[in-house]
């Protein structure tokens, strides 16, 4: 299992990341960490699999579709300014508990996002 996340519940892993604002459209995690988490926790091991698929993380009560980005510090979740305003992050960067949806739960949430644009951008 990923060293960044540990088993939490039937639908989520638990991790601690620094959360900071950024001016992009999506929440982002350092690309190499994003790919490693994708490979360790989302890949099935069958055939060729994408390692750039969005991760689904929950910060406070908000689900975020998280992409990889080379410009993010290690161990940091960069969240768009407008989405960060609805969380309890007060002094960024702030070390926060973050839930990572397991593969089946992430697939459900990403499908919901596709059906309801604007959800968890």
Q: What is the pLDDT of residues 98-118, one digit of tens each?
A: 999 998 888 787 776 666 665
pLDDT at 82: 85
Question: C-alpha dihedral over 91, 22, 82, 68, to 10 degrees?
Answer: -120
In this predicted structure, what is the pLDDT of residue 70?
Answer: 95
Measured distance CA(12)–CA(24) in Å, rounded: 25
Helix, strand, or coil (residue 20): strand
Q: What is the pLDDT at residue 90?
A: 77
Of the candidates 62, 60, 75, the one whose C-alpha atom is nearest the C-alpha of residue 29 is: 75
> Domain 5-115 carries which CATH code?
2.40.40.20
Interatomic CA distance for residues 24 and 96, integer angstroms = 20
30-69 per-position pLDDT tens digit:
999 999 998 888 877 776 656 678 899 999 988 898 999 9
Instruction: Please state the pTM of the whole predicted model.
Output: 0.83
Q: Where are the domains of the chain?
A: 5-115
CB 63 within 8 A of CB 108: no
Judge whether residue 121 has pLDDT over 50. no
């Amino acid at each position: 299992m990923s060293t960044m996340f540990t088993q939490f519940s039937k639908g989520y892993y638990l991790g601690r990341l620094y959360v900071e604002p950024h001016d992009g459209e999506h929440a982002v995690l350092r690309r190499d960490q994003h790919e490693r988490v994708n490979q360790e926790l989302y890949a099935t091991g069958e055939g060729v699999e994408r390692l750039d698929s969005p991760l689904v993380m929950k910060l406070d009560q908000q689900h975020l579709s998280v992409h990889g980005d080379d410009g993010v510090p290690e161990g940091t979740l960069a969240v768009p300014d407008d989405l960060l305003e609805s969380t309890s992050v007060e002094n960024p960067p702030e070390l926060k508990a973050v839930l990572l949806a397991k593969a089946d739960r992430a697939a459900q949430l990403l499908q919901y996002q596709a059906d309801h644009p604007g959800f968890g951008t």
